[in-house]
A and B are shown apart, each in its own frame.
Chain A
C-alpha cells in the first residue's frame, strides 16, 4: 500500500457565502476503501462529487492518480460512480446500460458489449442482459449500477449512500458484497454514508466530517477507541462524555479518579467512555440504576452517578440488575479517552 490514488490539498467548495467544503486535505491510497462519514450537511457528498468532477473546487487542488484534475469535467476523468438511486438509464436494457461508457468513450460497440458481458458474468448477472432496469429487483439494479461503474476500470469507484434504497434486512449482505467486490478487483473506493455502523463495517479508513471540515481520519478501531474530539466520540457509537479535570496525571471528577496513560498538565478536561467499557458491580455505591432495558443481545442501563447519568451496556451473561439497585462503576485504564483538555 503505497501509491496515492486521490489527493485533496486545501480543497474548498463555496456556494455564495456557504462553505460546503472548507479547506480539506487528505489522501487515499490505491486499493483502499475510505468512507466519508458525517451528519447531513457536513460536506461528505460534496467531497465525493468533487472527486467525481460533478462539482469543481473553488480553491485548492484535487489530484487523481497523480494528475491535477481540479478544473476537469466529470466526463474527462476516469471515475466510476454508484448513485444513491442507482440512476440506471430506464430506456436502455441492462447490457446497453453497462456498455454505455465504453461505447460513448469511442470504443467499438461490439467490443463494448463484449466487455459488458464479462463484467455482468463476474457479478452474477448473466441472463439479464436484455431486461430493462424496471424489470429488475432492487438488488439486481444495484449490481447493474456497480457493473456499469467498474466496466471501464476507473481510477476510483465512488459510492453515494448505496444502501439507502436497500431494505434494512438486506443491508448487511449488500455491504458485504460491496466490500468483497472492492477487495476482489483491488479497487480504490470512496463511500459516503451517514450511518456510523455501516462505516465501521466496510471501511479501511474513515474520514469523519463536520461542518465542511475533517473532524478525524483513522481506521474504524482508532475512531472508536481513540476519538479526538467530543464530536467524533459522540457521532461514532455511543459515548459517555464526562466533564472533570486533570490533576496529578489523573482524570478526576466527584466519585471517580482515573490515572492517565500519559502524563498531562493540570486543567479542566472531558473524557469519553464507551458504554461497554464500564463495568457495574452490585453493592453499596453512590450510583443508582435508573432504567434497565433488555435488548436481546445485551442489557442497557442508565445509571445516575455523582458526575451525571451514564449509559452502560452489559453482556447478557452477567446477572441482571434492577431499577433502583445501587452499583459501583469500574472503568479500565484503557477504556477511556481524553477528548477535550484545556
Chain B
C-alpha cells in the first residue's frame, strides 16, 4: 500500500494520473452525444471528442497535457512550479464554463453557437471522464497551493479543505442558486421578477382570515401557527421533563431518557398513523369516548390538532435534552445564595432559576420551531385540509401540475423562515447565554422544585408518558394483528407476508413481498451513506478545529447552513439542479447517497469538534514531526482517539438515512425506491397495518444495526493519565 502511494507520487501524483485517464480513456459524457464525423470519434474520451469537432473541450484537455509536460520537465516537485496554478486554474474555469454554457439543447449564449457549430447539437451531462477531470484539476490546484504554504504546506490538509469546499459548493450552494433562478426565470431563461413577486405575495399564502373569524388562512400563516403552537408546547413539555429529571427525586429518570430516544428511530408516518388509529373518527379512544360519555365521533384530529400532537411527541425529547443541559448547568450556589438572602423557594425559582433558564428556553423553542417548519411526514398524514408549506411544495413538484417555479418560490419563503429562526438562535445563544459553569467544583446542592411547580410538571408529563406508550403500543402491535384500525386484534402475519414474503425453493431464495425492493435500496443507501457522511463530517470537524486557512469562518458558517435548510427545500433544489446537464444525476442511487451525506454531516461534524477539543493538539503535531502526513496522522492518531464521535456520527447517519423522508421523497425513482416512500404510499392507500408492520421491521433493523456499528467501531480505551495529559495541554501557544 505504502509502496503504491510512493510510486504514484513519483510519477506525478494521483491527480495528474486521474486527469490523464479522464481525458484519454474515460467516456466524457454520461450518454454518448450525437456523432459529428462519419464512423464516429475514435472513443468517447474528451481528447477524441475534441478532435472530432467539440473544440470547446480543448482547453481542459490541453491543460492536463501541459501539466503532464511540466511534470516531465520539472521532476518530482513539479507542483511547486509557478506555472501549475495558472494552468490548472484556467483549465478549470474553461471546464466549468463549457459545462454550463452548452446545455442539452445547445449553447446558452448564441455567440458560442457561431464559434462552435458543433455546439448547436448540445451536449449531455458529464460522465465519468468529466467528473474525474473536475476532481483532478481541483486536486492539482490544492497540491500546488500546498506547495506554496497553504495549510502549513500540508498536502492532505490543503486537498481536504479545497475538496470539502468544492463539494459544499456543488451540493449545497449550487442547488440553492438553481432554486433561486427557477423562481426568478422562466424555463426558457427569461428573467421575470414580476412573476416571483406575484407568486410570493399570493393571497392563498398570506391570508389571515382564520384569525379574524374566517374559515381559512394562507399557507404561510398556517405554517407559522403550527410552528409556534408546536414549539411552545414542546418547550413547555421539555421543560417539565427536564425539571422533573434534574430537580426532583423522580425515580424513573433512566426510563425517561430511554423513551426520549424513541422518536429518533421511529420511521415517519407511523406516529401519525398511530394517532389516527387512536383518535381518528373510527379510532379506539374515539370509540370509548362515544360509548362511555356519548361524545360523538368527529374528524377533529385531522388538521392542526393532530399535527401538533404528533410534532410535540417527536420534538419534546429534543427540547428536553436542550433544557436538561441548561438546568444542569445552573450553578446551585446561586440558588443557595438567594435562599440565604431570605428568598422562599418559589421566589428563588422566579427570580433566579427562571431568568437563568430563559436562554435555554429560547434555544429549545427555536429548535422545535425549525423542526416543525421542516416537518413533512406528520402534516401529510394528519393534515386533512390544513395546508402547510412543506406539503404545498411537495405537491407543486410531485402533484398533477408540475410547477417547479412555484415550488421554488414557496421553498424560498420556507427557507427564509428557517434561516431567520436559525439566525435568531445563533444570535441568542451567542449573547444571552449566562454560562455559570466556572470550571471550579461547586459544593452546593441543586434546589428542589417548589411543590406547586412539581405538581404542574407531573400533570404535564404523565399524560405525555401515557400517550407515548399508547402510540408505541400501536406501533408494536398494529403490524401483527388482523386490523388495528377496527380493533380486530386477532394475531396474524399476513401484513408482514404481503411485504416480506419469500420462498427458499429449488431456484434458491426468492423474494416475493412488495417491500423487498425498497428495503434493499434503503439498506444499501444507508449502509453506503453512513460511512461517507461520517467521513465528510469528521473530516470537516478536523479541518475546522485543526487547520488554519483563509476563509475558515465562512467555511464553518456554510457547513452549519446546510443543517438549517429544510429537507423539502433540499429535495426541490436537487430536482432543480441535478435534473439537467452538466450534473445530471437524478434517478440514480448516487443522488440519494449525496443528499444524505450533506444533510446529515453536521451531526458528525459537531460530535467531531467536541471530541477533538478534548484531544491535545500536540499529539498530531508530534505525528507530523515524525514524518506522518496529514492523512496518516488522521488515520493512526486522531481517529482512534475520537472513536465515540465516529460512532455517534455513524449511528445518526445510518438511522436518519433509514427514516428520512422530506428530501428523498423528491429523489426516489421506480428503480431506487426508499422504505419511507413506500410506507407513504401505503398510508395514502389506507393500508395502515402494512405501514405499521414495515415500520416495526425498520425499527428492529435499526436497533440491530446500532449494536453492530458499536461493535465495529469499538470503544475507546485510554488510561487515566492520558486524559490528564489532554487536560493539562498547553493553553498559551505563542
Question: Which of A's residues lie within 8 Å of B, judged by CB?
Answer: 20, 40-46, 52-56, 70-81, 83-91, 100-101, 104-106, 132-136, 145, 148-149, 152, 158, 160-161, 164-165
Contact = CB atoms under 8 A, between A and B. Distances in A.
A314 B725 CA distance: 43
B160 to A, nearest CB: 13
Contact of A133 (B80, B155, B719, B732): B719
Nearest to A44: B734
Contacts of B146: 73
Contacts of A133: 719, 721-722, 725
B510 interface: no
A58 B717 CA distance: 41
Contact of B628 (A86, A104, A148, A160): A104
Contacts of B148: 71
A45 B153 CA distance: 19
**A-B pairs with lowest CB-CB distance, top 10:** A134-B719, A90-B722, A101-B626, A73-B153, A134-B721, A87-B618, A74-B624, A87-B622, A45-B734, A83-B618
Given A73-B154, A75-B154, A84 B730 contact: yes
A46 B734 contact: yes
A132 B734 CA distance: 30
Given A52-B625, A106-B2, A165-B728, A90 B719 contact: yes
B153 to A, nearest CB: 4
B710 interface: no
Interface stretch (B393-401, B424-432, B633-641): B633-641
B734 A53 contact: no
Contact of B622 (A41, A81, A165): A81
A55 to B, nearest CB: 6
Contact of B619 (A78, A87, A104): A87
Contacts of B629: 73, 75
Contact of A43 (B147, B626, B722, B734): B734
A23 B734 CA distance: 16
Nearest to B719: A134
Nearest to B620: A87
A149 B629 CA distance: 16
B623 interface: yes
A73 B80 CA distance: 13
Query: Do most interface residues of chain A lie in helix, strand or loop, or is the interface mixed?
Result: loop
Given A74-B625, A75-B624, A79-B625, A85 B719 contact: no
A158 to B, nearest CB: 8
Nearest to B152: A56
B556 interface: no
Given A20-B734, A52-B621, A80-B626, 15 more contacts: A40-B734, A45-B734, A53-B153, A71-B149, A73-B146, A81-B621, A86-B725, A91-B640, A91-B717, A91-B718, A104-B623, A104-B626, A105-B626, A106-B6, A135-B721
A71 B732 contact: no
Contacts of B628: 75, 100-101, 104
A89 B153 contact: no
Contacts of A52: 621, 625
Q: Chain B, interface size: which category?
A: 35 or more
Interface string B622-666: 111111111010001100110000000000000000000000000
Interface string B554-591: 00000000000000000000000000000000000000
A148 B625 CA distance: 10
A91 B624 CA distance: 17
Interface of B: 2, 6, 80, 146-149, 152-155, 616, 618-619, 621-630, 632, 636-637, 640-641, 717-722, 725-726, 728-730, 732-734
A88 B637 CA distance: 10
A85 B616 contact: yes
Contacts of B147: 71
B627 A85 contact: no
A85 B618 contact: yes
Contacts of B733: 45
Nearest to A39: B734
Contact of B153 (A76, A80, A85): A76
Contacts of A148: 622, 626
Given A41-B734, A91-B640, A133-B722, A105 B622 contact: no
A134 B718 contact: yes
A74 B625 CA distance: 5
Nearest to A73: B153
B620 to A, nearest CB: 8
A12 B715 CA distance: 44
Given A73-B146, A90-B641, A83 B734 contact: no
B80 to A, nearest CB: 7
Contact of B621 (A83, A91, A135, A152): A83
Given A73-B155, A133-B719, A54 B621 contact: yes
Given A40-B734, A73-B154, A85-B730, A56 B149 contact: yes
Contacts of A84: 618, 730
A40 B732 contact: yes
Contact of A134 (B622, B632, B722): B722
Contacts of A101: 626-628
Nearest to A15: B548
7 contacts: A44-B734, A54-B621, A54-B625, A70-B149, A85-B729, A87-B618, A88-B622
A54 B619 CA distance: 12
Contacts of A149: 625-626
A74 B734 contact: no
A85 B629 CA distance: 21
Contacts of B725: 85-86, 88, 90, 133
B719 A87 contact: no
B77 to A, nearest CB: 10
Contacts of A43: 734
Nearest to B716: A91
Of B6, B152, B732, most buried by chain A (CB within 10 Å of CB) is B152
